[in-house]
Amino acid sequence: MKMVLNLLAITALLGFSAFAAEKTWTGSISDSKCGAKHMTGAEHGAKMSNRECTEACVKGGAKYVFVSKGKVYNLENQDYAGLAEHAGHTVKLTGEMTGDNIKVSNIVMPGGAKHHKKAA
């Protein structure tokens, strides 16, 4: 019986650690005000690109978010260096997901030109 309980405990721990593994998704860096769809300037009074809109919304107090396949994910580490640089861009984002939250560890443009790895 004790062996079965130990086996169940180990299986549960292995299952939980799988949720913490890093993954990579393709999507865009947006803001919590606009989410998956920018209103192309409606909220700022002038026509803006997605990048300009994201920058303006974040400057106004919104948070960076990641949008992938129409779903909006909160980003835990708002001070991550690559977020401001890639605001409004389509990127490959790597990190650990917990629920609808992602802790970013790397951002790469789809062509692979720009890397922003977490400092050690």
Nearest to 57 by CA among 76, 37, 43, 77: 43
pLDDT at 86: 96
Cα 110 to Cα 86: distance, rounded to the nearest angstrom: 12
Helices (H), 1-120: 2-19, 50-59, 81-85
The answer to pTM > 0.85 is no
Residue 26, phi then psi, degrees to nearest 5: -105, 135
How many helices (H) and strands (E) in the chain?
A: 3, 5
Share of the chain above pLDDT 70, in %: 71
What are the pLDDT digits (tens) for 44-66?
667 889 999 999 999 999 999 99
Mean pLDDT along residues 6-25: 66
The predicted-structure confidence for 87-112, as pLDDT tens digits, reads as follows 999 999 999 999 999 999 999 998 85
